[in-house]
Chain A
Amino acid sequence: MAKVWIDDQEIELGDNERLNGIEAARRVGVEVPHYCWHPGLSVVASCRMCLVECGTKNSETGEVSMLPKLVPACQTPAKDGTVMVTNSEKVAHARAFVEEALLIDHPIDCPICDKAGECNLQDYHFEHGQQERRADIKPFTSRRRSMGETVTLFVDRCVMCSRCVRFCREVTGTNELMVVQRGAHEEIDVFPGFPLENKLSGNVVDLCPVGALGDSDFLYSQRVWFMKTHNGVCTGCSTGCSIQIDENQDKVYRIRPRTNPHVNQWWMCDDGRYNWRYIHDDARLIGPSVSDPAVSGNGASSNGDGSGLGLMEWSTVIARVDDDVRTAGKMAVVLSPHLTVEEAYLLCTYARDVDPDALIAVGPAPVVGEDETFSQGFTIRAEKCPNRRGVEEVAAVFGKRLTLDELLPKITRDGIQTVWVTGGYPQADWMDEATANQLAAAQMLVVQDIADSPLWQVATHKMPSATFAEKEGSYVNFSNRLQSVPWAIRPPAGARTEGSVYWQLLGRSGLYQSKIVLKEVASEIAFFRAAGEDVGEHGVDLTIDMLAGA
C-alpha cells in the first residue's frame, strides 16, 4: 500500500497500481493541466505544462524533503511517500510561462477554429495563463495542409505535443506522421507521397489538444458548443466501440470514441466514425403502409405510385398489423443483429403470444474480409453488426434458434402464414432478391427496415424503423460485454423505433422504456443475469454468469 500526498490530501494507492502524478492527482479531484501526456501513449514529458513541486516524506521521521526544481507530473510516479504540490505560486508561474510561450507563435484564430470551445489551449489559458500578452503579435491565419483524406493540419496552431506522432508509431504502427525541422521551426508533416491513411487516422483529431488537426469531414459544419453529446455504441462491427454522438437539433454532426477500458480504450476506427451519413439519407424510408387491394382499389388512401399500398397512420397500422398477424396464425420471425437485446426480446415475446410455436431465426450477420488488429491490440472485426451475440441468446430461449437459410425451406413446408423480418442494416445489399422472394412465399410479409431493398418491395406490411442513433437499448459485443445506451436523436417523422412498435403491440401502456425491458430480460434469461443491476457507462461482462450457468 503506497501513501501519497497531493496538496495536503492523503491517498492510498493499491499495490498493483502504477499511477503518475497526473492520475494520482485526479484521484483526489485535482486536475493537473497537461498537453503531451495521454493515458494511451508513451510519456515524453515535452510540453512542461504539468510541472509540479515534488518531494518525499520520510516514513519514520515524517520529514518532507522537496526537490529544488519543478518536475513534470506525467513522468513522476506516485510512489510510497511521494508528496506533490500543485497549487503553489511557483507552479502557477511555471504554468503561466508555458502558456505564454505556446501563445507566442499561435495564430489565435479561435473565432474560425473548430476546436474552440473544447480546446485545451483555450481552457488552460483562461485558467492558468496571464492576463496580458507581452509579445506584440497580431492574430494571423494559420497555414494549412492536408495530411490525408480525412485529416487537415493547421500548421501554426500546433503546440508540438507530439501526441499524433506517437499515436501513429505506437497504436497503429504505421508511422505516417513525423516532426520535421528543429527548434522554433518544428512542424508536423507526412513524408511526400505517404499520406496519413490508416483506418484509425481519425483518432489523431481527438487526440490533438488544440485545433491543429482538423477532421475534414466535420470541418466548419458546427461550433462545438451548439452540439449535445450522447453516449452510444458503434454498430459498425461486433467490437461495439463505445462512442459519443454529437448532435444538434436531431442532426448528427460527428461521432467520437468514448473511453472504455474494456472495449475500445480511447480509440475507434474510421469506418465507424464516418459511416453514419445513412442516418440522414434522403432515401430513408418513412411512412408505414399495408398493402390492401380494397384500399388501393377505391383509391382512398393510395400513395399514388401505383404500388397498391395504402399509406396510413402509425396507430392504425399497428392495430392492423396486430389484427392481420393474429388472424393469419403460423408465424416466423427473423431477428436482425442490428436489433437491441430489448427489441429482440419484445418481438419474440410478441411472436410467442401470437403463435406458441413461432419459429425464431437470426438474420444474416455480414462478414467483410478478416479481423484487422493493430499493433497495440485495437481490432476492427470482420463481422459487421453489433448485436449478433445478444439476439442469438434471446432467440435461444424462445425455442430452437434457426439461421435464415434454415428458415427459408420451412416457410412453404410448414405452411407459415406470417413472416416478420427486421432489417436496419446500413449495407444496402443485405438481402438479395431470391431470398426476398422466398420469404414472400408466406401470405403476409411484415418488414421493418430503414432503406429500400428487394425485401421491402415485396413486403405486405411495411414499417420504417430506426437507426442506431435513434434507439435506446443494449448491445452485446463479440466478447459478451453488454452496453446500454440512450437514444441521441429522434427518428425522422414517419419512422418509429422497433422497440416502441413492439411495446404497443404487446399492449403496454406509456412510452417504450428499454431499461424496464432489460430488467425483465435479466430476470428471465440466465445469460443476461449480470445486466439486472445498473449497467454502467462501460457495460457489464455477461461471461461470468455464462460460466456459472454452464
Chain B
Amino acid sequence: MQANDPDILWVEEPKLGLAGKLYLPLIAQGLTTTTRHLFSKKITVSYPDTEPEIANPLIYRGVHRLNRDEQGRVKCVACFLCATACPAHCIDIIGTESPWPDREKYPESFTIDELRCIYCGMCEEACPVDAIELTSLYNLTGRTREEMVFDKEKLLSVHDQTIDKEPMRSQGGATSQGGFP
C-alpha cells in the first residue's frame, strides 16, 4: 500500500491541553487504577502451583484431538482441508482407501507438529465432518521435538481423554456420508 493511497485516512494527533502538559492529573489517574487493583479480587493465578480455570473449554484453542465416530473409528475422511487451511503447514496427512465398506477414504497417517502450530483453530473451522477439534489442554510439554509431533493414535487418545468434559461441538457430517451436512 502506497502512502498516497486514497483508502488511507490520515488523522492529526490531538493537541495536549493544559492538564496533559502538567502531567500531574494523569499520574493521579494512573495511581488510582493501580490502587483499585491492589484491593480488588485477583484474577492471576500462580501457575504452575495453581491451575487456571478455563471459562469455556468449548471455545478454547489448545491441543488438537481427532474425534471418533459412533463406531470408535477415526472420524477424519482425509480430505486435507485442514492441511490446506493451516497457515503454519503443520498438518501432514497420508490418505488412502478405507478398510471399511461404508467409508471411502481415511487417513493412513495423520500428524500434527504441535510445536509448529500457532493454535489459530483454522483446521477446526475447515473440517467438513467435525473430525478435528481444539481442546482446552494447554500445558503441553515434551522432551524432544519428535515427541511433539502428534500422530493419529496420540490425537485419538486426546479425544478419549477429553471427550467426557468437552463433548463434540456438533454431530454434523456423519462420516459414513463423507460430505457436508
Contact = CB atoms under 8 A, between A and B. Distances in A.
B180 A111 contact: yes
B180 A141 contact: no
B105 A112 contact: yes
B130 to A, nearest CB: 12
B97 interface: yes
B70 interface: no
Contact of B79 (A108, A111, A139, A140): A111
A122 to B, nearest CB: 12
Contacts of A142: 104
A139 B178 contact: yes
A111 B96 contact: no
A107 interface: yes
B97 A111 contact: no
Interface string B158-181: 000000000000000000111111
A107 B105 CA distance: 14
B177 A139 contact: yes
Contacts of B5: none
B104 A144 contact: yes
B80 A226 contact: yes
B121 interface: no
B32 interface: no
Contacts of A194: none
A141 B97 contact: no
Interface size class of A (residues with CB under 8 A): 10 to 19
B117 to A, nearest CB: 19
A112 B177 CA distance: 10
Contacts of B97: 219-220
A138 B177 contact: yes
A519 interface: no
Contact of A107 (B78, B179, B181): B179
A108 B80 contact: no
B57 interface: no
A109 B84 contact: no
A491 B81 CA distance: 30
A108 B129 CA distance: 13
11 contacts: A107-B179, A109-B177, A109-B179, A110-B179, A111-B180, A112-B77, A112-B78, A140-B177, A220-B95, A220-B97, A223-B80
Q: Which 8 A-B pairs have the closest CB atoms?
A: A139-B179, A111-B79, A112-B105, A223-B80, A220-B95, A111-B128, A109-B178, A109-B179
Interface of A: 107-112, 138-142, 144, 219-221, 223, 225-226
